[in-house]
A and B are shown apart, each in its own frame.
Chain A
């Protein structure tokens, strides 16, 4: 399938591209044919700065299973880090 569905996640942070670090304010998340990964469908995430017109993107294409593992790992890391730093996330 070619899916037109894009989930836009507003975020605060930075990402490192070919020209160095840049601020990012949006992640475009989708599940569709990848461009590079040797998969029929992949979870794609494009980190961009829409405020600046998104001239560059930091992209990943992940298998569905590894995307799920990554999502879980992010939550685990946040929980452990918050405990270490005494923060609430």
Chain B
């Protein structure tokens, strides 16, 4: 038993309207062919947690790109940059889709790519993953970890930047979906998760949802009070298995 060596870089990708985007790219070292994952950060920042999760996916045998959705705000500490974006109401959905299309193109252009690409996100990134799965052709898997506002119950959450509830686009979802949720979460709450599943079922989509008791929002984040070790460990296993099946096979250490 050994461990996979890993290569990481800060890379550029072609973002929305040709903007030069910035991303963290981690993948197992070597000449193996790899499934690719686009990992979307949550609203507060392109932060340490996102980079850690990106490295974790590489550690388990995938090529992972974590775009900095806030690169247009220039350099600076991630929290300050995130605060600027928050003050402006977040990134517009259209811009997000353009950036994510660029990341998909980046992954498929790498010599180590096996041609398959997933999109995965946490919290607002989970919403983004859903949106990308419906708005961009070419994904092989979608992973939504407790994405809030996939179902929109408050009309105030429909804005010029986010003009559509992602759930209303679900008919366009072509890739299998994995959903990971906490039963004590309030955004999305269990009722919203149930309604989301009902729509997937009604539309005949391929999906698997996993709901965990005793956890709320963001329970994978080991550096936060919401962390729940048992459920997070099982949740990560579900993620690896789903990605292995849909964009794999994942590379394993010999």
Q: Which residues of A pack against B, CB within 8 Å? A: 1-4, 6, 8, 28, 30, 32-36, 38-40, 44, 46, 48, 54, 56-57, 59
**Docked CA distance A46–B44 (Å):** 13
Output the least CB separation between A36 and chain B (Å).
7
Interface residues on B, range: 20 to 34
Report the Cα distance A2→B86, complex, angstroms: 10
Contact indicator B87/A4 (Cβ below 8 Å): no
CB-based nearest A residue for B86:
A6
> Which B residues lie at the A interface, using CB under 8 A?
42-45, 47, 78-80, 82-84, 86-87, 89-90, 123-124, 148, 157, 159, 162, 185-187, 216-218, 224-226
Q: Which of A1, A3, A28, A33 contacts B87 (CB 8 A)?
A: A28
Most buried by B among A1, A48, A56: A1
Q: A50's closest neighbor in chain B, by CB? A: B87
Cross-interface CB contact of B124 among A2, A36, A54, cutoff 8 Å: A2
Q: Given A6, A40, A56, which contacts B225 in the complex, CB threshold below 8 Å?
A: A40
Complex contacts, B80 vs chain A, CB 8 Å: 56-57, 59
| A35 in contact with B87 (CB, 8 Å) | no
CB distance from B78 to the nearest CB of A (A): 8
A-chain residues with CB within 8 Å of residue B87 when the two chains form the complex: 6, 8, 28, 46, 48, 54
- Contacts A1-B187, A35-B79; A40 near B89 (Cβ below 8 A): no
Q: Which B residues are CB-close (under 8 A) to A38?
A: 224-225
Question: Chain B residues near A33 (CB, 8 Å)?
Answer: 42-44, 123, 218, 224
Interface-central residue, B86, B148, B225, by most chain A CB under 10 Å: B86
Closest A residue, CB atoms, query B185: A1
Which of A30, A35, A36 has the most B CB atoms < 10 Å from its CB? A35
Q: Do most interface residues of chain A lie in helix, strand or loop, or is the interface mixed?
A: loop
A59–B47 Cα distance when bound, in Å, is 17
Contact (Cβ within 8 A) A40 B217: yes
Nearest chain B CB to A32 CB, angstrom units = 6
Residue contact B217 to A1, C-beta cutoff 8 Å: yes
Check A28/B83 contact, CB under 8 A, given A4-B90, A40-B224. yes
Contact residues in A for B225 (Cβ distance below 8 Å): 38-40
A57 to B82, CA, bound (A): 11
| Complex Cα gap A61–B137 (Å) | 40
Does A4 contact B43, Cβ atoms closer than 8 Å? yes
With CB as the reference atom, state the residue of chain A lying closest to B146. Answer: A1
Q: Is the CB of A40 within 8 A of B84?
A: no
Closest 4 CB pairs of A and B: A1-B187, A2-B124, A2-B43, A35-B79
Q: CB < 8 Å: which of A6, A40, A46 contacts B218?
A: A40
CB-nearest residue of chain A relative to B80? Answer: A57
In the assembled complex, which residues on chain A have CB atoms less than 8 Å from the CB atom of B148? 1-2
